[in-house]
Amino acid sequence: MFRRNVQRLHPEIIQHVLLDMPSLTFFTTYALLALFWAEIYYQARAVSTDGLRPSFYRINAVVYAIQIAMCTLDSKLTG
């Protein structure tokens, strides 16, 4: 039902954003959980956690950038 309503929206890029948002949200939530676990693990081992958060941000930025590039490319190819 939701997908049919979304597929009627124009421009097509809005369709991609709305349909891909749940998976991106899931990925970010899962990555945040992994970050939380890694921080606890590193702190228990008395290891510096300085590089964890920047890595989390970089990984998320790369995934979102790839998703945006794919949506943009698909919209341009399908016209």
Q: Are 52 and 41 in contact (CB under 8 A)?
A: no
Q: What is the pLDDT of residues 18-53, one digit of tens each?
A: 778 889 999 999 999 999 999 999 999 999 999 999
Find the helix or strand (DSSP H, E) in which 1 lies: none
Higher pLDDT, 17 or 2: 17
Token pair belonging to 42: 């590193």
Q: What is the pLDDT of residues 1-13, one digit of tens each?
A: 666 776 776 776 7
Q: How big is the chain by its Cα radius of gyration, in Å?
A: 17
